[in-house]
Structure 1
Amino acid sequence: MRLVTRLLLLAALPLAALAYGVSHQIKQAGAAVTTTTKPKATTTTTSTTVPLVQNMVKPPLHDPALDRRMASFFAGLRDYNNAEADKAFLPMPYYVVLKQGGGNEADWNNRLITHYHQQLAELRARFRSVLPGAIYNGYSVKSATAHTVRVGTEQNKAPYWQVYMTTMAFKDKNGHPHNFVINTMISFRGAWYVVHVIGYG
């Protein structure tokens, strides 16, 4: 009887080993690492740049934006700060929109704003003794001189409004009043910008 039992046990051993191997393989397969690939995000960029286009809205005699530009003009004049005074000047991109021909960027840089700075220097020389400590006292646009400039009149490819002889006032540190004239301003999209302080129009 014992011999038969031993023979049965020996016959069962290979089956047990086979069952263990299959079970172990199943466990390993269940423990396999799963890799998930996320789709790449797609970014779409839409341009919102709006081209500059002139219009013929007549600028008002006063508005908050013009008030700030003119105050900057005087502060730059008084403080020998051309960059501050330039805030009242016609920006170069606007000039390019208005004027005919090529090379308008270079013309603005080499001629127009250079002359403007020279004219600021002339004003500083004229008021040298009263500018230090001076207080800005406003401006007056001479509305009677406002007129339209048609295409081609001043080598311009777009029309604009133009006004002459705008008066700027200030008081010196002793309270004495003074004034001077800004010779020419022109419009871009319903706003006035200085182009010539002295000697034009």
Structure 2
Amino acid sequence: MPTATDPQFTAGVNALWQGIVDDDPAEAMPFFFPKSAYLQVKALSDAGSDYENRLIGFYKLDIHAAHQLLGSGAKDAKLVGVSVPAKAAEWIRPGVEENKLSYYRVYGSRLTYTENGRTKSFGLFSLISWRGQWYVVHFGPNPRPKPIGVVYQPQG
């Protein structure tokens, strides 16, 4: 079971945050589920295309949407941390979610930050595990009816 206290996790969260602040999805990629893992896990006929076009496509849109949420104060916003409800994590067996390997999945994680002296947060729709680490696989809600960036459950 991955933890939210591991240095690699912290580095990934920091990369995600920097990508949001800078409006640069490439900076946020270290916290996204690796393509090599996706190709091993998913039992899709064209998992590579699904990864590049759907998953990465939505991730980029969601990074841009989160940057817009921060608005003109993006550079001054400060990351507080990410909470991962480990007790809510589920072991997903082969055959579920079109996968051929098992992994942990957790819903309900939240990224917390301060902006203009106020504490705010938004959800990370779904994290899944790979080799003992949590990664974002769906930043915003999944599935979606159309390709738009979405900040999941913003508060504050």
Structures share fold, TM-score greater than 0.5? yes
User: Structure 1 residue 100 and structure 2 residue 100: aligned?
Assistant: no
User: Structure 1 residue 75 and structure 2 residue 14: aligned?
Assistant: no
Alpha-carbon RMSD:
1.5
Percent identity between matched residues is 31
Structure 1 residue 59, shift from structure 2 partner: 0.8
Structure 1 residue ranges, 4+ long, deviating more than 6 angstroms after superposition: none
> Unaligned regions of 5+ residues in structure 1, if any?
1-57
Q: Classify the secondary structure of the residue corresponding to 1:187.
A: strand
Structure 1 residue 60, shift from structure 2 partner: 1.6
Structure 1 residue 105, shift from structure 2 partner: 1.3
Instruction: Decide which structure has the larger Cα Rg and report it.
Output: 1
Normalised by the length of structure 1, the TM-score is 0.67
Structure 1 residue 198, shift from structure 2 partner: 1.5
Structure 1 residue 115, shift from structure 2 partner: 0.9
Structure 1 residue 63, shift from structure 2 partner: 0.6
Distance 1:114 1:200 in 2: 13
Q: Classify the secondary structure of the residue corresponding to 2:71.
A: coil
Contact 2:80/2:112 (<8 A) preserved: yes
Query: Which of 190, 194, 197 in structure 1 is aligned with 2:132?
Result: 190
Point out the structure with the larger strand share: 2
Contact 2:104/2:128 (<8 A) preserved: yes
Q: Which amino acid aligns with 1:183?
A: F
Q: Deviations over 1:69-128 (max 9, x none)?
A: 001101110111111111100011110010003321111111111011112222222232
Count of matched residue positions in the alignment of Structure 1 and Structure 2? 143
| Aligned residue runs from structure 1 range 7-156, under 5 A | 58-156=1-99
Q: Which amino acid aligns with 1:176?
A: R
User: Structure 1 residue 158 and structure 2 residue 101: aligned?
Assistant: yes
Q: Which amino acid aligns with 2:64?
A: A
Distance 1:111 1:78 in 2: 23
Distance 1:142 1:198 in 2: 17
